Structure 1
Amino acid sequence: METNSIELLKKRRSIYNLGRNVKFSTTELTSLIQESIKQAPTAFNNQTQRAVILFGESHEKLWDIVIDRLKQEVPDEAAFAKTTAKINAFKAAFGTVLFYTETKTVKEFEENFPLYAANFQDWSEQSQGGTQQAVWTALAENGIGANLQHYNPLIDDEVRAAFNLPGSWKLRAEMDFGSIESSAGTKEYMTDDDRFLVFN
């Protein structure tokens, strides 16, 4: 049995110590990310995923927005210093992918397929998971580390204004990526008996 896909999935880890020693061009990385998203599945092929790919000053601008926004939420100076250090680690990466859902498309499918209307929001979230994993795994295959963050919805309005994004795009996650400066630790797994049921 072929297990190449399993080996690739094992490479997909949360890497937090990222840098900018990336051997690929922004054009190559953009193409890789775009193609990964295009090939990720969606319910009814409704293609609700959207993405904003940030490099250079735009990438740094995103994480500056996060820091500025969190300053309003973290009143303690010592705690905010720790928060700033954490965000600066994301900022030190090479780029960021912002994952969005096009809510207008979700609503259109709810209206056009009323029998399944209650499911389209859930299905759009499922497609987000598949999309994020597809991008993450493709990056990992090429030796690029990444981690996934969720500062939405705190930053939604500021990011939308900063990059002039459509109001119907709903931010779901932020993935910073770059060169792997130190690898992830050993991953622990729960027992198979607790996780799986198999019936013949």
Structure 2
Amino acid sequence: MANSFREAMKHRRSYYSLTNSSLISDKEIQEIIEFVVSNAPSAFNSQSTRVVLLLGDHHKKLWDIVKGVLKAKISADAFQKTEAKIDGSFASGYGTILFFEDQSVVEGLQKAFPSYSDNFPGWSVQTSAIHQFSVWSLLEDAGFGASLQHYNPIIDDEVAKEWNVSKNWKLIAQMPFGVPADKPGEKEVSPLKDRILVFK
């Protein structure tokens, strides 16, 4: 039985030890993404979020791109540690979800509503965050572990070239996922009294 959204939200964590396995079909993974993209809210109903699902060799290719870009930018010693982290935590998973924001939509809204022009880029990032969190929670509900990575913008050009992504799509985040190979670490929660004000 599917968990409630509250349960999925509570148990959603960052998993850095993933296996290349899945408890559901690829079609069901796609349906999770389609459900979120169809139902997640966005400012002015902009629907600016774009998603690319990478499975199989495409998933592996992404992390080869990340390693190739990093190898050219950092020292050999630093790269050795980074490569081990990528291979053991991200590339080892079942797939990766790429989250983009369509800048043509953002720019169109800026022109249509000039008094809010400065706000739309920020609202676009918020829209992406809602999609990321929703997909993450539903993946958790399906038995996956995931994490959120940000190798953009250094991989943007290679990603766009490899998967023929529109130049208007701005890469926001990468979400590797797979069945967890280990439990996540403990999560510390700051005191709620310092974070919430209630007036009644």
TM-score, length of structure 2 as denominator length: 0.95
Cα deviation, residue 44, structure 1: 0.8
Q: Output the CA distance in 1 between the equivalents of 2:17 and 2:172.
A: 23
State the 1:26 CA deviation: 1.1
Residue in structure 2 matched with residue 192 of structure 1 by the alignment: 192
The aligned runs of 1:60-71 (5 Å cut-off) are 60-71=60-71
TM-fit CA distance, 1:78: 2.0
CA distance in 1, matches of 2:189, 2:135: 23
One-letter identity of the residue aligned with 2:40: A
CA distance in 2, matches of 1:21, 1:56: 11
Q: Which structure shows the bigger proportion of residues in helix conformation?
A: 1
Aligned to 2:106: 106
8 Å contact kept, 1:145–1:179: yes
Cα deviation for residue 47 of structure 1 reads: 0.3
For residues 30-49 of structure 1, the aligned pairs below 5 Å read 30-49=30-49
Q: Please state how far the C-alpha of 1:117 moved relative to its aligned partner.
A: 1.3
Equivalents in 2 of 1:98, 1:5: separation in Å? 23
Give me the whole-angstrom Cα distance separating, in 2, the residues matched to 1:95 and 1:171. Answer: 17
> Which residue pairs with 1:18 in the alignment?
18
The SS at the match of 1:149 is: coil
Alpha-carbon shift at residue 154 of structure 1 (Å)? 0.4
Residue in structure 2 matched with residue 85 of structure 1 by the alignment: 84
Superposed displacement of residue 5, structure 1:
2.9
Give the deviation of 1:4 after TM superposition. Answer: 3.6
Using the TM superposition, name which of 93-102 and 107-116 deviates more: 107-116
Q: How far is 1:32 from its partner?
A: 1.1
Shift, 1:87, TM fit: 1.1
Give the aligned CA root-mean-square deviation in angstroms: 1.2
Contact 1:49 1:128 in 2 (8 A): yes
Instruction: Tell me if structure 1 keeps the 8 A contact 2:15–2:146.
Output: yes
Residue 198 of structure 1 deviates from its aligned partner by: 1.2
Counterparts of 1:87 and 1:64 in 2: how far apart (Å)?
9
In the alignment, residue 123 of structure 2 is paired with which amino acid?
W
Q: Normalising by structure 1, what TM-score?
A: 0.95
Q: Aligned partners of 2:128, 2:85: CA distance in 1, in Å?
A: 25
2:23/2:143 contact within 8 Å kept: no
1:24-173 equivalent positions in 2, closer than 5 A: 24-75=24-75, 77-89=76-88, 90-173=90-173
Structure 1 unaligned residues grouped into runs of 5+: none
C-alpha displacement at 1:58, in angstroms? Answer: 0.4
Distance in 1 separating the partners of 2:21 and 2:119: 42
Number of equivalences: 197
Which letter maps to 1:178? G
**Segment drifting more, 187-196 vs 154-163:** 187-196
Structure 1 runs, 4 residues or longer, greater than 4 Å off: none
Q: Percent identity?
A: 43
User: What secondary structure is seen at the aligned counterpart in 2 of 1:133?
Assistant: helix
CA shift digits 1:126-157 (9 cap, x unpaired): 10110000000000011111000000000000
| Structure 2 segments unaligned to the other structure (5+ residues) | none
